[in-house]
Amino acid sequence: MKTPDELCQKLGYQFKDESLLAMAITHRSFSANNNERIEFLGDSLLNMIIAEALYKRFPNLREGELSRIRALLVSGKTLAELANEFNLGVFLRLGAGEKNTGGHRRNSTLADAVEALIGAIYLESGFDVCRERVLSWFEARIAVLNPESSHKDAKTRLQEFLQARKLPLPDYQLLDTEGADHQQTFIVSCSVSLLKSTISASGSSRRKAEQAAAEKVLIALKDTE
């Protein structure tokens, strides 16, 4: 059985008040004392933190472009991807009905829980610690942002990067599949001619694992420029 400490390790933050952590991962189907209010707080904090990060990173972008990029970063899809990186679904406290219908894999439930965790960290340790944790979670995604193509996914951006340099397309290989059939984790490698070693990543589907691997390759390529 998964323990709170395992989740804290994945988050990079150790909760002193376990009741606060418990609230953040409790769905309304489980208890009246759930994460809805704290998720509301976390949503506002996330928007503020990401807005500030984008404002500093792109000093020449207009308000509309900054808003568009922020919307992509704080979208339910991105937050659910982040939740899967934390393996958050296995820690969620769900009512029997919600659990039986796959609530621990539902994007909206996962995204809400990430926002609730942000709110919980803020309540326990204040804004500076909260901002540091959020930025560490989003660091890789922010590092590879390109305002010209921020609406495109990582695989598309990597393909265009290589095509612009007339280089071979990336090679994705499925390395392993772990877990039960209803909750598998896929491990995929991505290799490109510009890098000496392959890069691997995991995800709750092969497509998501490939996207995560492409994102890592883009970061590695950025470091070589």
Q: Is 177 left (phi over 0), alpha (psi -120 to 50) or beta?
A: beta
* 112 annotated as a binding-site residue: yes
What is the CA 83 to chain-centroid distance, rounded? 6
> Pick the catalytic residue: 43, 81, 210, 215?
43
Burial category of 63 from C-beta neighbours within 10 Å (exposed 0-12, middle 13-18, buried 19 and up)? exposed
**CB-neighbour burial class of residue 108 (10 A; exposed 0-12, middle 13-18, buried 19+):** exposed
End-to-end Cα distance, the chain:
44
Residues in the chain: 225
Q: Identify the three-state secondary structure at position 153.
A: coil
Q: Are 202 and 186 in contact (CB under 8 A)?
A: yes
Residue 115 known to be catalytic: yes
The encoded tokens of residue 206 equal 């092969």
Q: From the candidates 81, 98, 115, 210, which is the catalytic residue?
A: 115
Nearest residue to 47 via CA among 119, 147, 106, 101: 119
- 115 annotated to a ligand binding site: yes
171 is annotated as an active-site residue: no
- Any idea which residues carry the catalytic annotation? 43, 115
Q: Which residues are documented as binding site? A: 39, 112, 115
> Known binding site for Mg(2+): residues?
39, 112, 115
